[in-house]
Amino acid sequence: AQSVTQLDSQVPVFEEAPVELRCNYSSSVSVYLFWYVQYPNQGLQLLLKYLSGSTLVKGINGFEAEFNKSQTSFHLRKPSVHISDTAEYFCAVSDRPGGYQKVTFGIGTKLQVIP
C-alpha cells in the first residue's frame, strides 16, 4: 500500500528566505509524485509533478522538487519565498492498483511567510 508522510505540519519562514517542505513516500510499484497548493477556502492547484526522467522537476511560482528514489523522498523547495506563498502544501503519490488510479495525499504542510 502506498503512503505519504509530510514531516512538518507547519513551517514559518521569513520573506525572501529559502524554504524546503519535506515529503517521504512508500509504494510497492513505480510511482508518480505530485505537489499541490491550497489557498484558504479554495481547491487544490497543481504545483508540479514527477512522472519519469529528470529527477529535478520545476513547477509554477518558482517552486521545484527533487525525486530521490533511494531515500523515497520528494522534497519541495523555493529559493526565495514571497508573502503570497502563504498556503497549505500537499504532497501526493499515485499508482494504479487494479486499474484504478489511486492518489494518496499527505496531511499537508502549512507554509507561513513572515514579513
Q: Give the binding site for other proteins (CB under 8 A).
A: 9, 32, 34, 36, 41-46, 49, 51-52, 90, 94-96, 100-103, 105-108
Q: Could you tell me which residues come within 8 angstroms of residue 31 by beta carbon, excluding any fewer than 6 positions away?
A: 2, 25, 93, 94, 95
105 CB burial (10 A radius; 0-12, 13-18, 19+): middle
Helix (H) or strand (E) holding 26: strand 23-26
Nearest residue (CB) to other proteins, 25 versus 36: 36
Cβ proximity to other proteins: between 15 and 64 the closer is 64
Choice between 82 and 102, CB closer to other proteins: 102
**Considering the complex, what minimum distance in angstroms separates the CB of residue 45 from other proteins?**
7
Cβ 26 to other proteins, closest distance in Å? 15
User: Which letter, b or e, does each residue of 16-37 get, where b requires 16 or more Cβ atoms within 10 Å of its Cβ?
Assistant: eeebebbbbbebeeebbbbbbb
Smallest separation (angstroms) from other proteins to the CB of 49? 6
- Min dist. Cβ of residue 108 to other proteins (A): 5
